[in-house]
Every structure is written in C-alpha cells, then in structure tokens.
Chains A and B, each alone.
Chain A
Amino acid sequence: MPYLKAVYRQESIKITMNKAYIGCILVIIMSCNTNPGPRPDLVKESSSRKADTTGWPASFGLGRPASAVDIEKIDIDVRPDGVGLPAGEGTAITGKTIYMTKCVACHGTDTTSGDAKLPGPVLISDHPGKKNKTIGNYWPYATTLFDYVRRAMPYTEPGTLTNEEVYHLTAFLLAANKVIKETEVINAQTLPKIVMPAQHRFVNDDRRGGNEVR
C-alpha cells in the first residue's frame, strides 16, 4: 500500500523546524543541572561508551542501499504534524459500523462501565471508571490514534485494516470521546489540526539529576 508520505514531507519540513523546540527543551533541561553534580570522590570513567573509532575505515561497506521502494514498504509511522498520513478519509458513522464488528469484543460499547474487565481498555464509555485514562482526557495527539490502530489493531489480526477503515475508526473514536463532532471528516489535512483536550497537560521529563527526588 503506497503512502503519500513523500508528498507531505516537503511541506512538513517548514513545520518541523518550528517543532524542533520539543527536542531542544529536553536538551536544555538535561544541561541546566543546578543540583550537585557527580560525586567528586568517584571517577566516572565510563560515562560515554562511544566506540573508539581510531583506525576505522571511513565506511565498513556493510549493508545494502535501502531504496525508496524498500523504505516505503515498512515506513508506516505517522507524526503529529501529519507526515506519514495516507490518502483517504473517514467519518464517525461508518467508523461505528467497523467498530461494532472488529473492536467491540475487546473494547466495549458506550454503555460499558469504564472499570469493566475486558481484553482491552474500555474506549468509548459514557460511564468513566476510576482509572479514567481515555482518548478524550489523556491522549495528547490525535495522529497517534491513526498510527497505533493501523500498526497494531485488531489485536488478534494486526495490520489487516485498510487506510480507509483506520480513518473511519479514528473519526469514530474521536467523536465518541467528544473530541470532534460526529459529522467531521477525518483525513490527512484535518487530523493533525485537532488539538486534543489533554495536550496542554504534557510536560517533558523535569527530573534534573543529582539528589533531588522528583
């Protein structure tokens, strides 16, 4: 199944430059350690395990070139900026039909209690349980839904859903979690624009090393 990754990639590079801050913040956090550093009475001789490349050739000449076709066959990931999303689209109403056939046995219906013990997590409950970690109140990116459902679901028949089916299911799960309206169409343009309700709660690792418990 060919994906339209290459088409979106040119456009996405500009976006990703802006989003590089995610990585930068992590690097800054790690380097701004105001706590006591490593104990001076210990010599940390092995903090870096970088290979000693003295005497190595520029290349070992191992491996074969990976062609664009080879890569496309396995490059199924989808990023928050939409890079990797295929052509196609989906709606909640069609998604519900697919869900009731292929997902309901493990994930329950809207009347299932959020605390019910099913083979998989309860996904669309109107009765949230104590655990209360749902797509609507916890998942920070809508693109993750498409990526995960396509690569791993259904659990007993992984990787069997078509791109269209995954778009429909994504639309249904977002609508059932009150993130989008039931009439909204989900595709490569609309999905990355959705701001998930819990996204603002996520922060990068704030542990700063040293003797602080965090």
Chain B
Amino acid sequence: MNEQEKDRKPGRHISRRILLGGAATAAVVLLKSSYGQVVQKAITQAELKISDPTKVLGPPPGEVGTRSKFEKPVKKTSDTSSRTPLQDLFGTITPSDLHYERHHAGVPVIDPNNYSLTIHGMVDKPLTFSLADLKRFPSVTRIFFLECSGNYRSGKETMTPQEICGLTSQSEWTGVMLSTLFREVGVKPKASWFLAEGSDAAVMTRSVPVSKGWEDAMIAYAQNGEAIRPEQGYPARLLLPGWEGNTSVKWLRRIELSDQPWMTREETSKYTEGVKDGKIRQFSFVMDARSIVTYPAYPQQIQKGWMEIRGIAWSGRGKIYKVEISTDGGRTWNTAKLQDPVLDKAHTAFRYLWEWKGGEAEILSRAIDETGYVQPTMKQLKEARGEDMGGYHLNPVTSWLVQRDGRVLFKPEN
C-alpha cells in the first residue's frame, strides 16, 4: 500500500502528516534545475505533502547512504556494455555505481577468501598472493581515467554525451604498484611482455609490455575509498593508466612473464584497427587526447542569457594542457578554464562562460595535451588512417548544434 492509498483509507486516524499536506492536489511548480535553469515540473500529491521539510521529521541516521529520490542517474546498457551518464555528473570522479562496464562474459562472483594472484614465468621466485598479502604491501592511491578504446558512437542528432562517449569514467584507485610485486618475484631482465589473465568466464587475457609494469601499472583493490565493485574487478584488478581499458584486466588471477606477446583473441581479432594500405594496427595501447562538452548537450534546451559551457577533457599521454571552445562552428576558438588539480592521465573539468543571445550556434571543444597533441576532427582521423579505420581509438572533436528554440542537437561526424 503506498502513501496515497494509506491516506485515503476510510476511518484512518488523522495524522500530523495528513494535516500538513492539507488538501494538496497535483500541481505544477517552478524549480531550479541543477544547472540553474528554471524549469516546470509536475509534482505529485505525495511529494507536495512534504514540500515543507521544516514541518516533517526526517528519517534517523542510516547504515548506508542513499541517493536523493529526486535524482535518477543511470547507466545506459547494451548486451556488452553500460555507459556512464556524463551529462548528469559534476566534477571529475565518477560515482562507483555509475562507472562504465564492459565485460566479455559477465561479472564473476569471487569470494575474497578464495582469491589469489599468481605471478610466474620468467621470474626468480614464482609466488601466489592472497588478497590480504596484496593489502599488506606498500600501497598507492591515484586518480586517473579508464576508457574503452571503442568509445565513440555517432549516427543521429538525438544522442547524449553518454551515448556518444560514455565508456569513460574516473575513480580514485588504491592498490599495490605492479613494480612492487615485480621486485618481490624477481622479474628476469630478459622478460619483455607479461600476460594478464582474469578469472571471469572468458578467462580474459591481454599481453602487456613489461616496461608498463615497471612504470605505473597498479593492482588495485579499492575504488573511491571502498573495495572495488564487482563490475570493476572485485576483489583485485590490473590498472594501466592512460591505456585502453581492455588491457586493465579485471578479476586478475594470473600474471605470466615472457619474452614475447601471446597474441590473444582480444589483441588480434579485437582491439585492433584498420590503418592505411590495408594494414591493421595492433598493440595501440595509449588513449589519445579527447574532450566533450557535457553542457549544453542533447537533450537539454537552453534559455537566453549567460551560462557555463562545461565538459571534461583527458589524455592517456599525460596532463591536459589546454581546452579550447568554439561557439561558432570552429571559426574562432577561446581558451576554457581548467579546474585544478589538473592530474596526469585524468579527466579534467573545463568551463567557459558564454552568453547565448538566441539564434543558431555550434559549440565545439578540443583538448590539447602536454605532448602538444591536438584533438583531431573526424576528417583528420580519416585522412590519417583511411576509410577502413574501424571503431577503435576514435577521439574526434564533438559538435553540438544550438537551435533557435534552444534545443541542443548532436552533429554526427565532424
């Protein structure tokens, strides 16, 4: 029985709540949206009854917090992935339950007491670590993004940032550096590649150059202050900052050191892309620089006046150096403000103050990273890679078309 039905029940004693609600009927009120716009919102009778929170005793402290019942950010799911609602987020940390997902055989259930990670192959001492062992090693905490290399969709005007490139998310990760474990097992100098293997139903594998293991790879067991979520690799996963997400193998059970790559299914028939002259590029690990405007964006409708154009920029090569904004379809560019701290290989929030006076406008952003790389247009990508470039490692400048009535539409292909 819901609240309204309870209230209608005949003979029920008159509670303080009913009195406070008065003779409320469904109404239309003006609310301020999270971006400061005034919008009309239909309010249900039940909601209106508690519209004065100063007159209702709230619930006591709880064991686990909840999202406001008025906020419903959700991932957009497909058979193989689910996408982060970039347009609903603020700042740069993705709430853990909204982190994008891409699995190759579902999410395994792993009892942390039975979990182990074995490192063997070209090492002095093959060792098996329990989760407790991993947690006892010197730890590191670091914020960086994780992005699927197949993170670009296009094709129609009615697409949200989530639909276009929602396979990117950012967390604060805690774990042990892989170099710490390499040191412990004694990786032989001639080892040049390692195999990372997950304990999902695909027992998914990728080959990774050992140099990345020594440089900045992590075995993470925590995400945003708590144990990693099952969807993100519970109880422990590999993380390769700045590299295509598939290489950061989740539910990591085994690392084998070798002097050559394994040519696994995911690094040959998948996660490779056509380039010119009929060639196919393999081991393209690094995610190039990219940005997207998340406000204004479809499906928002803007109103005349001042607003902040907002979005995120990131690069797998290092720090974001600059983000430029155009509101006239790329004829002129202005420098956006970057929100500190600008971190290495991390989503970086940008904003640019803009007055919309009505009329059509085309809003674009382009990221420039500290290596001097400038986010390309789709045309530049096609020129560089040829027409058969496939769907991996596409990071084109994305364009939003503001209509005269304030509607904002995605401009497919740029």
- Kindly specify which of B36-44, B177-185, B301-309 makes contact with the partner chain: B177-185
B371 and A209 form a contact (CB under 8 A): yes
Complex Cα gap A42–B202 (Å): 43
Complex Cα gap A77–B263 (Å): 10
Complex Cα gap A144–B179 (Å): 28
B280 and A202 form a contact (CB under 8 A): yes
B272 and A202 form a contact (CB under 8 A): yes
Question: What's the minimum C-beta distance from A80 to chain B, rounded to whole angstroms?
Answer: 5
Tell me if A93 counts as interface (CB < 8 A to partner B): no
A205 and B269 form a contact (CB under 8 A): no
A159 and B203 form a contact (CB under 8 A): yes
B264 and A147 form a contact (CB under 8 A): yes
Question: What's the minimum C-beta distance from B149 to chain A, rounded to whole angstroms?
Answer: 12
Decide: A211 near B371, CB < 8 A? Known: A51-B180, A148-B265, A203-B279.
Answer: yes
Q: How large is the interface on B (under 10, 10 to 19, 20 to 34, 35 or more residues)?
A: 35 or more
Question: What's the minimum C-beta distance from A125 to chain B, rounded to whole angstroms?
Answer: 16
B138 and A56 form a contact (CB under 8 A): yes
A49 and B269 form a contact (CB under 8 A): no
A47 and B318 form a contact (CB under 8 A): yes
A152 and B370 form a contact (CB under 8 A): no
- Cβ contacts under 8 Å, A75 to chain B: 120, 254, 256
- Cβ contacts under 8 Å, B361 to chain A: none
- Cβ contacts under 8 Å, B105 to chain A: 152, 155, 158
A144 and B118 form a contact (CB under 8 A): no
Complex Cα gap A39–B184 (Å): 36
Tell me if B216 counts as interface (CB < 8 A to partner A): yes
Tell me if B56 counts as interface (CB < 8 A to partner A): no
- Cβ contacts under 8 Å, B216 to chain A: 48-50
Kindly report which residue of chain A lies nearest to residue B286, judged by CB atoms: A207
Q: Which of A126-166 contact B (CB under 8 A)?
A: 133, 135, 138-141, 143-144, 147-148, 151-152, 155, 158-159
B371 and A79 form a contact (CB under 8 A): no
Complex Cα gap A198–B279 (Å): 9
Decide: A42 near B256, CB < 8 A? Known: A65-B127, A140-B263, A210-B373.
Answer: no
- Cβ contacts under 8 Å, A111 to chain B: none
Interface string of B356-398 (1 = CB under 8 A from A): 0000000000000011111010001101110000000000000
Complex Cα gap A62–B130 (Å): 9
Complex Cα gap A48–B215 (Å): 6
Tell me if B282 counts as interface (CB < 8 A to partner A): yes
B280 and A201 form a contact (CB under 8 A): yes
A26: contacting residue among B184, B209, B262, B280, CB under 8 A: B209
- Cβ contacts under 8 Å, B263 to chain A: 79-80, 140-141, 143-144
B260 and A66 form a contact (CB under 8 A): no
Q: Which of B246-282 contact A (CB under 8 A)?
A: 253-254, 256, 258-265, 268-269, 272, 275, 278-282
Q: Which of B330-375 contact A (CB under 8 A)?
A: 344, 370-374
Question: What's the minimum C-beta distance from A25 to chain B, rounded to whole angstroms?
Answer: 10
Tell me if B295 counts as interface (CB < 8 A to partner A): no
- Cβ contacts under 8 Å, B256 to chain A: 75, 77
Tell me if A1 counts as interface (CB < 8 A to partner B): no
Complex Cα gap A50–B138 (Å): 12
Complex Cα gap A62–B125 (Å): 12
Complex Cα gap A48–B137 (Å): 19
Q: 6 nearest interchain CB pairs?
A: A49-B216, A23-B192, A63-B127, A148-B265, A66-B126, A151-B203
Return 13 A-B CB contacts under 8 Å, by A number: A16-B258, A17-B259, A20-B259, A26-B283, A27-B209, A35-B372, A60-B137, A70-B118, A76-B203, A148-B265, A152-B104, A158-B201, A202-B268
Which residues does A use to contact B, with CB under 8 Å? 16-17, 19-20, 22-24, 26-27, 35-39, 42, 44, 46-51, 53, 56, 59-60, 62-66, 70-71, 74-81, 133, 135, 138-141, 143-144, 147-148, 151-152, 155, 158-159, 198, 201-207, 209-214
Which residues does B use to contact A, with CB under 8 Å? 104-105, 118-120, 125-130, 133, 136-138, 140, 142, 177, 179-180, 183-184, 192-193, 195, 197, 201-205, 209, 211, 214-216, 241, 253-254, 256, 258-265, 268-269, 272, 275, 278-286, 288, 317-319, 321, 344, 370-374, 376, 380-381, 383-385
